[in-house]
Amino acid sequence: MTTIEFASQTPRITTRPAVATLVVNALANSYRAWKNRRAFYRLGEMSDAELADIGLTRADLHVAIGVPFGRDPTVKLRAIASERADTIEDLARQVA
């Protein structure tokens, strides 16, 4: 077998594991998004004071629920909470 023949056969060998990896990763991401969505719905049962303790408001929950079904709403909540924390820190630096 020459190098040229081997090089032309190599992509067929390596694509099967790559496709399997993509499928497994897609299933794992879907499962993680489903679990996080279930946890997200439990946040709706918390009081406003409990939500404030973790840096969220009820309006944040309404914004995060707007993400498409297959996506993870907790990612949106994390972005909202960290943006709010950064804003509060910036305001505290300006006052001090």
Task: Read off the amino acid at residue 79.
Answer: A
pLDDT attached to residue 7:
57
Structure-token pair, residue 1: 């077998």
Per DSSP, 67 falls in state S
* CA-derived radius of gyration, the chain: 22
Residue 1 has pLDDT above 80, yes or no: no
Q: What percent of the chain has pLDDT over 70?
A: 82
- Tell me how crowded residue 62 is: count the other CB atoms within 10 A of its CB: 10
pTM of structure: 0.60
Residue 8 has pLDDT above 80, yes or no: no
User: Using one digit for the tens of pLDDT, what is the confidence trace for 16-49?
Assistant: 678 889 999 999 988 888 888 888 889 999 999 9
